[in-house]
């Protein structure tokens, strides 16, 4: 098939550009909204609109289908869209209630169009968020509902790992470019506290961290960002504590090599739309400790990993409405992370059991061939 895509970044490569039998045409430079959005943001100081429409004389009519990520198509040609939160994606406008936003109503009409052949939620959590959106638009819901599918991203198995580490240090690995949003600070706090409390020793664990502490902004914290003193304390501990081996960044191949030598993965994240790194860890036979935001309970069930259970809002995310909220959530994350670490160290056999289950769930639920077959069926309209 010849498939037009709205870009060739990581989301497209993970969810769309997945079948070597297809020919993919990147129309991002040919999308008129790529250029309109530059004007909207830089000159008009307006929100970006997530719309796809080819420039004049660059019609998409010769393609079999258009497949977009987080965008809707307003032009000619049949299309589908994969999305991670809601579709349409419409950014908030100050002073206008979300469901009264005329842009949202306008773009919903594109999704209702017969040219839209399907919309694909990347998780059940995403599907539930989309259904809550559609509850406010019952006419559109009747049209869009039958087009809504759930299709988790594909992931091949990368390594079978059945060995049990009976003695010596267990290797824990955290990977998160956005160090603070992904829970890097909480990893440092949990392990350093256990060491100070004499509940672990330097002979029990090694902790690899890959992430940039310079990426200080945490979108989940909203107006209540960590201050310089907190970050200095975390980064001093990261540098000085003998448990930690820190890399600001590594190549993808180096990250995978590190994961393959690790026993347990770490992603105590504050905000996550999906959790692709969890799939990669599981595919290497490395079970993961994660929080329970968004799709993480789906891809990290407790037979395959460990969950840190936090209170969630209707968007299945953490709510930080004050400094007290942030402190309470941080305490919850750190205390449960410490409990999981101690449980793992006291019963190392559980690591092998969950490593086997991690690989099994990747094989059963993220099989690339089954993914391509299901996606092809959506393109054909079943």
Q: pLDDT at position 72, please?
A: 98
Is residue 293 domain-resident? yes
Beta bridge partners of 244: 207
From first to last of its 382 residues, what are the pLDDT tens digits of the chain? 999 999 999 999 999 999 999 999 999 999 999 999 999 999 988 999 999 999 987 665 688 999 999 999 999 999 999 999 999 999 999 999 999 999 999 999 999 999 999 999 999 999 999 999 999 999 999 999 999 999 999 999 999 876 666 677 999 999 999 999 999 999 999 999 999 999 999 999 999 999 999 999 999 999 999 999 999 999 999 999 999 999 999 999 999 999 999 999 999 999 999 999 999 999 999 999 999 999 999 999 999 999 999 999 999 999 999 999 999 999 999 999 999 999 999 999 999 999 999 999 999 999 999 999 999 999 988 6
Compute the distance between CA of residue 147 and CA of residue 320 in angstroms, rounded to an integer: 34
Same domain, 295 and 372: no
Is residue 49 domain-resident? yes
Same domain, 192 and 321: yes
Same domain, 133 and 199: no
Secondary structure (3-state) at 41: helix
Same domain, 338 and 273: yes
Compute the distance between CA of residue 317 and CA of residue 60 in angstroms, rounded to an integer: 37
Same domain, 180 and 203: yes
Same domain, 296 and 207: yes
Same domain, 129 and 204: no
Is residue 160 domain-resident? no
CATH number of the domain that residue 266 is part of: 3.40.50.2000
Same domain, 178 and 140: no
Is residue 264 domain-resident? yes
- Number of independent structural domains in the chain: 2
Compute the distance between CA of residue 376 and CA of residue 382 in angstroms, rounded to an integer: 8
Is residue 279 domain-resident? yes
Print the domain residue range for 14.
2-154+367-380
Residue 135 φ then ψ, to 5°: -60, -25
* Residue that has been written with the tokens 């440092």 in this structure: 188
Same domain, 36 and 66: yes
Same domain, 229 and 197: yes
Is residue 159 domain-resident? no
3-state helix, strand, coil in the chain (%, to 5): 40, 15, 40
Is residue 163 domain-resident? no
**Residue 223 DSSP one-character state:** T
What is the Cα Rg of the chain in Å? 22
Dihedral sign from CA coordinates of 192, 200, 359, 120 = negative
Output the CA–CA distances (angstroms, integers) from residue 243 to 92, 192, 366, in the order listed: 43, 8, 34
Same domain, 182 and 149: no
Is residue 164 domain-resident? no
Secondary structure (3-state) at 363: helix
Strands of the 288-291 sheet, one edge to the other: 244-247, 205-212, 170-178, 264-267, 288-291, 306-308
Q: pLDDT at position 58, please?
A: 65
Same domain, 113 and 139: yes
Establish whether the linkage from the previous residue to 242 is cis, with ω within 30° of 0: no
Residues 6+ apart with CB under 8 A from 133: 86
Q: Crossing angle of helices 276-283/252-260, nearest 10°?
A: 50
Compute the distance between CA of residue 109 and CA of residue 328 in angstroms, rounded to an integer: 42
Q: pLDDT at position 56, please?
A: 82
Pairing of β 244-247 and β 264-267: unpaired
pTM score, whole prediction = 0.93
* Residue that has been written with the tokens 């209630």 in this structure: 97
Q: pLDDT at position 162, please?
A: 66
């Amino acid at each position: 098939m010849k498939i037009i895509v709205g870009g060739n970044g990581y989301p497209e490569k993970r969810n769309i550009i997945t079948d070597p039998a297809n020919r993919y045409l990147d129309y991002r430079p040919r999308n008129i909204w790529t250029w309109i959005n530059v004007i909207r943001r830089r000159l008009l100081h307006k929100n970006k609109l997530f719309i796809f429409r080819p420039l004049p004389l660059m019609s998409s009519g010769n393609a079999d289908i258009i497949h977009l990520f987080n965008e809707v198509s307003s032009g000619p040609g049949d299309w589908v869209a994969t999305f991670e939160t809601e579709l349409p994606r419409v950014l908030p406008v100050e002073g206008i209630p979300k469901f009264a936003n005329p842009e949202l109503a306008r773009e919903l009409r594109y999704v209702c169009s017969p040219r839209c052949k399907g919309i694909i939620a990347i998780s059940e959590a995403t599907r539930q968020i989309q259904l809550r959106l559609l509850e406010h638009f019952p006419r559109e819901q009747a049209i869009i509902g039958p087009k809504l599918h759930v299709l988790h991203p594909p992931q091949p198995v990368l390594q079978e790992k059945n060995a049990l580490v009976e003695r010596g240090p267990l290797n824990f690995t955290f990977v998160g470019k956005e160090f603070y949003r992904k829970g890097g600070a909480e990893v440092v706090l949990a392990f350093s506290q256990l060491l100070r409390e004499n509940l672990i020793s330097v002979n029990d664990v090694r902790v690899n961290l890959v992430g940039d502490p310079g990426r200080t902004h945490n979108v989940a914290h909203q107006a209540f960002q960590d201050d310089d003193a907190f970050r200095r304390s975390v980064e001093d501990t990261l540098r000085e504590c003998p448990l930690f081996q820190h890399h600001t960044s590594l190549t993808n191949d180096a990250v995978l090599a590190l994961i393959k030598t690790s026993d347990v993965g770490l992603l105590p994240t504050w905000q996550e739309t999906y959790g692709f790194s969890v799939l990669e860890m599981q595919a290497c036979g490395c079970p993961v400790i994660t929080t329970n935001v968004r799709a993480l309970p789906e891809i990290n069930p407790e037979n395959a990993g460990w969950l840190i259970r936090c209170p969630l809002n209707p968007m299945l995310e953490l709510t930080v409405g004050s400094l007290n909220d942030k402190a309470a959530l941080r305490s919850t994350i750190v205390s449960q992370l410490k409990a999981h670490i101690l449980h793992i160290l006291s019963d190392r056999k559980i690591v092998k059991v969950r490593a086997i289950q991690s690989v099994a769930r990747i094989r059963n639920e993220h099989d690339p061939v089954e993914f391509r077959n299901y996606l092809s069926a959506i393109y054909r309209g079943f």
